Structure 1
Amino acid sequence: MTDSQPRILFLSLSDDAGCERIVSHMAGRGAACAVMARPGSVAARPGGVTRRFALPGRGGPLAAAFGLSRRLEAAATSFAADAVVPLDDFAAATLRDIALAPRTGAGLRALLARSLGDPAHYRTSGSRDLLIVAAASLGIRTPRQARAEDLDGARAAGAAIGYPLMMKREATCGGAGVALVRTEPDLAAAFGPAARRARAKRAGRRLFGFRPVSQSAPITLQAHVAGRLALRTVACRDGRVLAGMSFAAERLNPPVTGSSTVVRPLVHPEIEAAASRLVAALGCSGFVSFDFIVADDGAAYLIEMNARPVGSGHLGPLFGHDVYGAWLSGFPGFRDAAPPPPDATAPRAVALFPKEMLRDPESPDLVPGAGLYHDVPWHEPDVVAHYGATLARHHPEAAESLGRRLRLAGRPAVSAPAPRLWPGLAQLVRSKP
């Protein structure tokens, strides 16, 4: 670590698959990277991590977040962090809670504002409901939606919006807390459990000293837009987009409400303009991502914002968009250790590791060819080993198929230690085709 290296402190609470790629990529570009996470977290496994700050291992993410403000302040001071980057939605929400808490020290509050952007808009960025309201006020295309306090209100909203529709719980992100509701009886059956979970989560946040993300109704009903999921991830500073990359999702897990497992590059001016407009309005800094549905006629409807980086951002250089490099270049004295090659051959689509393997070990998108690229991080053997164990637990019957798929994904040209997978898969990966 040198004086010119930006010092980035990453926070992981729920240990999302793919979050380690963000850390690994920035370390490879020359940043000094520290990770605050629970023991065994994949986020702390990349070889370029220079410091690790352990959070409590028992009790799950909520227990790890309890008392986090003091631990975060101590870690940021010890590491002399220039910025804090959340690696999952719960981490993003918790950092914003800490920034708004009256007892948070001025130094940590200032660090979080530099890292995340204008605190005046944290509640909007963390609310499914308020975000869409804000976007619509900016003239951004959004689905019709309505808040629902109770079942009668939900029925009235459903009748006004029309079926099918999406039912979304507040204080959730991504596919968690989202359900596709096709009929009024389906809505009646699903609303009660969803509302109880939303209120229980709000009560739990209060119990642990966190404020509610917003005062909105616990449930939002949103018109279902037929089309393809698309996302745009951007690096930004003080409300200005520095660089961005858009992808269209070719496969989701689970279907409809899940996260993308295979993506392809996308050029869509409406998406790019909408993202830039929201970043400016919310005064964002760091990294944010936006989800859209692109309808058959090409119109893009904003459906969600993730106030954090996503695991596909490191793919940008393959397509000429250097999201992380653009952000790091804003730190004084930064020297890029590994700028992306200017003439790299771009694949048609990318299968995300391990997500597509978890979805289907026999997926045709795991076979190289026809412009497909399987994004296995062979330069991070400990990460591959970690996911190897995860794959074995999820698909114990498919060890031979998984080994064949990994072998076909290829190995790096440089020498690297062989990842320690479970024995059957490791033998298949090492064997010659």
Structure 2
Amino acid sequence: MTTVLLTLGRLPKALDLARGFSKAGCRVLVAEPYGWTLAGASRHTAREFKVPPPSAGKAAYLEALREIVVRDGVDLVVPVSEETMHVAHLAGMLPEGVRLFTGPPAEVLALHDKASFVRKAAALGLAVPESAPLGSADAEALARGGPVVVKPVYSCSGNGLSILRAGEPLPPADPARPMVVQRFVEGREHSTCTVAQSGRVAATMVYRGAVMSGSVAVAFERVDVPAINAWVERFVAEIGWSGFISFDFIVDAAGVPYAIECNPRATSGVHFWEPDDIARAVLEPGWGGPVRVRRYRTLQQFYACLTETQAAMLRGKGFLASLKSLVTTRDVSWDWRDPWPFASMILTSWPIIWQSITKGARFGEVATQDVGWYDG
């Protein structure tokens, strides 16, 4: 039996992956700084381990993961979310024969770097917005020429992002926190999630936010945009990627998709696939599929959407539409054959809820704060 280690358990996508690998006949372990989580509550997870967060020390975090791999006979390590940038550094630390389902650390960080990614895609002739480092003459010229987006080179969930009107002064550059200035592209935002093996795309899901919590989607609608699929397929082939990889796009009025950033990890798009098919696409490098798509066109994270519905009621705007979406949309975590993760979600999510309350921040902003990569 193949033993799979998921390196995060708190998010719904971890639960989907745990269910998928279990249904594919694997023994599933979860490593998690919170100790008890959504995926850990599932009957499909054999055991969950508490590890120190990478924010408290990268070396200690990696060593804790390595110890689990050695002690419990792990065959495959699958990073789930923002911790991917840390987990990639397990390369070279694992016993012979243990697979790590992501790219080499230098490549992962180069894609996570919002400035480096744009340069890479532009060099391949793919559509990306003009971008320049904050503090450069090129950045000043971009800001004079039209609206721009300013965001940290290393960030997630829209943290630190701002949109400036044409001619509005740029913030001062801070060498300790490099930022990129990017031409603002008018259009609809789309997101993707791809699973790839050695430059071959096994499946790509294109979706867009249906309900937003700040800049983070908490309900999602899958859509068909062939131009986005073509963009992703070419990029993955050019860099020979293996692992999950995701992108955010803006599709302009002419139908041209501009990739605004890359996330070298899984995103919420995994919820639209049959979990055991995605597991097989990861487990078997030569697997030919197909990766089946679930019948639901729209999915939601129920408790996050409940919070947004309550907020809409207090604002007196959009309440009825939010309520209709809440009661008619399938939750990503619910499964009557595995009900405990959904039923215990308030308990397993309490560390995130408490931080959100005490810090006055949105759920999505604090959900990965202790595992994200925010420096070079």
Looking at structure 1, the residues matched to 47 and 133 of structure 2 have their Cα atoms a distance apart, in angstroms, of 44
- In the TM superposition, what is the alpha-carbon distance from 1:66 to its structure 2 partner? 4.3
- Provide the secondary structure at the position in 1 that maps to 2:19: helix
- Provide the secondary structure at the position in 2 that maps to 1:93: helix
**Corresponding letter in the other structure for 1:52:** E
1:76 equivalenced with 2:69 (yes/no):
yes
State the match for 2:368 in structure 1: none
1:323 equivalenced with 2:283 (yes/no):
no
Which residue of 49, 62, 67 corresponds with 2:55? 62
- In the TM superposition, what is the alpha-carbon distance from 1:117 to its structure 2 partner? 2.9
- Provide the secondary structure at the position in 2 that maps to 1:367: helix
What residue ranges of structure 1 are gaps of 5+ in the alignment? 201-217, 397-433
Looking at structure 2, the residues matched to 23 and 355 of structure 1 have their Cα atoms a distance apart, in angstroms, of 21
Which residue of 109, 119, 126 corresponds with 1:140? 126
What residue ranges of structure 2 are gaps of 5+ in the alignment? 311-318, 358-376
Looking at structure 1, the residues matched to 124 and 138 of structure 2 have their Cα atoms a distance apart, in angstroms, of 27
State the match for 1:401 in structure 2: none
- Provide the secondary structure at the position in 1 that maps to 2:268: coil
State the match for 2:109 in structure 1: 123
The answer to whether the 8 Å contact 1:144/1:222 transfers is yes
The answer to whether the 8 Å contact 1:17/1:354 transfers is no
Which residue of 264, 289, 293 corresponds with 1:307? 264
State the match for 1:385 in structure 2: 343
- Provide the secondary structure at the position in 2 that maps to 1:41: coil
- Provide the secondary structure at the position in 2 that maps to 1:139: coil
Looking at structure 2, the residues matched to 95 and 20 of structure 1 have their Cα atoms a distance apart, in angstroms, of 19
**Corresponding letter in the other structure for 2:20:** H
State the match for 1:11 in structure 2: 7
State the match for 1:169 in structure 2: 152
State the match for 1:21 in structure 2: 16
Which residue of 186, 195, 201 corresponds with 1:235? 195
- Provide the secondary structure at the position in 1 that maps to 2:25: coil
If the length of structure 2 is used for normalisation, what is the TM-score? Answer: 0.78
Looking at structure 1, the residues matched to 81 and 105 of structure 2 have their Cα atoms a distance apart, in angstroms, of 19
Once the two structures are superposed, residues 278-302 of structure 1 have per-residue CA deviations (whole angstroms, 9 ceiling, x without a partner) of: 2223332121111111223321111
Task: Figure out how many residues of one structure are paired with residues of the other and give that number.
Answer: 340
Which residue of 40, 44, 50 corresponds with 1:48? 44
Change (3 A) 1:340 1:307: closer
More helix by share: 1
- Provide the secondary structure at the position in 1 that maps to 2:182: strand
Instruction: Write out aligned runs for 1:96-115 (5 A).
Output: 96-99=88-91, 104-105=92-93, 107=95, 111=98, 114-115=100-101
The answer to whether the 8 Å contact 1:55/1:64 transfers is no
- In the TM superposition, what is the alpha-carbon distance from 1:329 to its structure 2 partner? 4.0
1:155 equivalenced with 2:113 (yes/no):
no
Looking at structure 2, the residues matched to 19 and 64 of structure 1 have their Cα atoms a distance apart, in angstroms, of 23
The answer to whether the 8 Å contact 2:131/2:180 transfers is yes
State the match for 2:210 in structure 1: 250
Change (3 A) 1:264 1:311: closer
The answer to whether the 8 Å contact 2:129/2:184 transfers is yes
Looking at structure 1, the residues matched to 216 and 156 of structure 2 have their Cα atoms a distance apart, in angstroms, of 11
The answer to whether the 8 Å contact 2:15/2:333 transfers is no
- In the TM superposition, what is the alpha-carbon distance from 1:118 to its structure 2 partner? 4.6
**Corresponding letter in the other structure for 1:92:** T
Looking at structure 2, the residues matched to 40 and 181 of structure 1 have their Cα atoms a distance apart, in angstroms, of 41
Looking at structure 2, the residues matched to 340 and 155 of structure 1 have their Cα atoms a distance apart, in angstroms, of 45
- In the TM superposition, what is the alpha-carbon distance from 1:18 to its structure 2 partner? 4.5
- In the TM superposition, what is the alpha-carbon distance from 1:183 to its structure 2 partner? 5.1
State the match for 1:298 in structure 2: 255
1:31 equivalenced with 2:26 (yes/no):
yes
- In the TM superposition, what is the alpha-carbon distance from 1:307 to its structure 2 partner? 1.3
1:347 equivalenced with 2:284 (yes/no):
no
Once the two structures are superposed, residues 121-145 of structure 1 have per-residue CA deviations (whole angstroms, 9 ceiling, x without a partner) of: 2332221111111111112111111
State the match for 1:358 in structure 2: 307
| More divergent stretch after superposition (118-127 vs 233-242) | 118-127
RMSD: 3.4
Looking at structure 1, the residues matched to 353 and 49 of structure 2 have their Cα atoms a distance apart, in angstroms, of 28
- Percent identical among aligned pairs is 23
**Corresponding letter in the other structure for 2:246:** S
The answer to whether the 8 Å contact 2:6/2:28 transfers is yes
Change (3 A) 1:357 1:325: farther
